[in-house]
Structures are given as C-alpha cells and as structure tokens.
Amino acid sequence: MSTPAATASAAAPQGQRRAREAALRIALLCAPALVLLIVFFAFPLIGNALRSLGLDAQAAPSQTSPWSNYEKLFVDPYYRGVIVETIKVSFIATLLCLALGYPIAHFMVRRAGRLAMPMLFLLIAPLLTSIIMRTFGWRVLFARHGPFNDLLMWLHLIERPLRVLGGPLGVYIGIVHVMVPFMVLSIVPVLRGVDRRLEESARILGAGAARTFLLVTLPLAMEGILTGCVLVFMLTSGSFVTQLLLGDGSVVTLPLLIFQQFSLTQDLGFASAMGNLLLVIVLACLYVQLRVAGRNGDAR
C-alpha cells in the first residue's frame, strides 16, 4: 500500500514533465513570430546601425570617424533645423488631431446613437484608399483655380486665389486628414468604458458640465488620449508623402530628407543615421507615454 509521501514523490516528476511540455508548446507557438521579428525587424535595424557608422558594404566608410554622420546631423545648422521642424510639425499635427478627434469621439459615444457606425465608416473609408490619391485630391481641391478658390471668389470673400499649397497650411491639412481617424479610434473605446454614473454623481454634487469634464471625464479618458497622441506623433514623424506633394519642398522633415538621401544623393550612411535618430525620437515619445500612463494607472 502506497503512502502519501510516495504518491507525492511520484507525482512531482509528472508535474515537472507536464510543465516542460507546456513550455515547449508555448515556445513552438511563439517561434514563427520570433523568427519574423528577428528577420524583418532586428536584422534591418542592425544593418541600418552598421550602415550609419560606415561599417556596411553598401555605404562608404566615414572619412574621419564612424560617428561623422551623427556629428553632421547635430553640428550643421541646416540639419538641426530639420530635426526641430520634424518635431514641430509632428507636435502641431498631433494637437490639431486631438482638437478635432476628441469632439468627434465624444459625439460618437454620447450623442450619435445609430449614426455612430456610419460615422465610423466615414472615418475609416479614406484609409482604404492610397495616400497618394488622397493627397492629389487635396491638390485638385486647393489648386490656384480649384474648387476651393473658385467658391470663395464666387462668394466675393476673396479677390485673388489663396495660396494653400506649397506651404505649411496645405501640409497640416493633408496630415490631419490622414491622422484624425487614428486619434478617434484610440479615444472611442476608452470613452465607452467610462462609467456614466461617475459623471452623474459629479453633477448631483453640484459640478457643472465643464468641471465634470475636467475632473471626471478627461482623467478617465486620458489613456486613450495619450495613446492617440503617441500614435499620431509617430505616424506623422515618419511620413513624407504629404510634405512632398502638398508642401512642394517648403516643409522639410527628416523622412523627406531620408527619401532624398536614398533616392537622389545615394548617401546611404547619412540617410541611415537620420533614420536611427528618427527612431530614437519616436521611442522617446513612446517611453514618455508609457511613464505617464503608468502614473495615471497607479493614481487610480
């Protein structure tokens, strides 16, 4: 007759074997994704880093030091200005998308009712078309003798056509048109999860609509707002088609400069250095978002 101790000692190896089998199954399930990440993410990043240091066969070695491409980025006033312009354009576009996206998301969740799904479709529909087609649509609309200027002149609101294209205004319009859906889609799920009873309790206690929004709704929706802001900032900082087609070279950002370095001057090392700098900027933005979101979570 077996004792409880003997039964436990016999069951221990079986439990360990089952745990190893479960770990092996999980590893096998994760292996394809891990291979894809290594091949299509890690290797390109390593290659880009080597190329920026002049250690890649495709890029000419740096003349003075492996860090000369990075020194050029921060020493030359022109490239410093491009870095600042990239951050500025991304930041302003993020604020504009937030100013437009939050009211749209709030209306969809609280007021739209049956119109919420049609509104969602209208938001997503532009994303189903090529960004080049959308950008050329804006070029046609805001052309010197396009529908926009013709309408304003017909209404006698202006005497001469407005210059929308070839400047920051056209670039911001094009970027906001592309990025607002990402802001709305980030905020809507969070707003739907806000308990309406908390807002009702605040009103019962005498808080007005503005105070209820600032002290109750906004803090609870902050996670979605931060996610949308980071998403828009990252996507904007990496885009160049809108700046190229609507800015006509007047708004120069790092992605546009990277495109020019790769396609025109063939300076792969310098282009790779700019790409790495852009990656650092985006990762820093993501880190700040995670820290702020973590603090908000701890505060709750």
Which pTM value belongs to this model?
0.81
Token pair 């020194």 in the structure block, residue: 71
Q: Which two tokens stand for residue 277?
A: 């700098």
Q: Per residue in 15-54, pLDDT tens? A: 677 778 788 888 888 888 888 888 888 888 888 888 888 7
Angstrom distance (rounded) from CA 89 to CA 239: 11
Token pair 């707003």 in the structure block, residue: 191
Token pair 């546009």 in the structure block, residue: 256
Residue 158 has pLDDT above 70, yes or no: yes
- Show Cβ contacts of residue 52 under 8 Å, excluding neighbours closer than 6 positions: 59, 69, 70, 269, 270, 272, 273, 275, 276
Angstrom distance (rounded) from CA 282 to CA 222: 20
- The half-sphere exposure of 282 on its side-chain side, counting CA atoms within 13 A, is 17
Q: Per residue in 69-92, pLDDT tens? A: 888 888 888 989 999 999 999 999
Instruction: Report the mean per-residue pLDDT for the chain.
Output: 83
Q: Per residue in 170-185, pLDDT tens? A: 899 999 998 999 999 9
Q: Alpha-carbon torsion 222, 224, 225, 231, what sign?
A: positive
- The half-sphere exposure of 136 on its side-chain side, counting CA atoms within 13 A, is 4
Q: Which two tokens stand for residue 118?
A: 């049609």
Q: Per residue in 96-112, pLDDT tens? A: 999 999 999 988 888 87
Using pLDDT thresholds of 50, 70 and 90, give the confidence band for residue 155.
confident
Using pLDDT thresholds of 50, 70 and 90, give the confidence band for residue 214.
confident
Confirm if 204 and 119 have CB atoms less than 8 A apart: no
Exposed / middle / buried, residue 53 (Cβ in 10 Å: 0-12, 13-18, 19+): buried
**CA nearest to 55, candidates 276, 278, 264, 268:** 268
Measured N-to-C along each axis, helices 168-192 and 218-237 cross at an angle, to the nearest 10 degrees, of 140
Confirm if 168 and 249 have CB atoms less than 8 A apart: no
Q: Which fold has domain 74-299?
A: MetI-like fold (1.10.3720)
Q: What number of other Cβ atoms are within 10 A of residue 256's Cβ?
A: 21
pLDDT at 63: 54
Q: What are the two backbone dihedrals, phi and then psi, of residue 66, each rounded to the nearest 5 degrees?
A: -60, -20
Angstrom distance (rounded) from CA 271 to CA 59: 10
Using pLDDT thresholds of 50, 70 and 90, give the confidence band for residue 198.
confident
Q: What are the two backbone dihedrals, phi and then psi, of residue 294, each rounded to the nearest 5 degrees?
A: -65, -40
Task: Parse the chain into domains and list their residue ranges.
Answer: 74-299
Angstrom distance (rounded) from CA 300 to CA 294: 10
Angstrom distance (rounded) from CA 235 to CA 133: 18
Candidate from 28-32, 54-58, 133-137, 168-172 with smallest mean pLDDT: 54-58
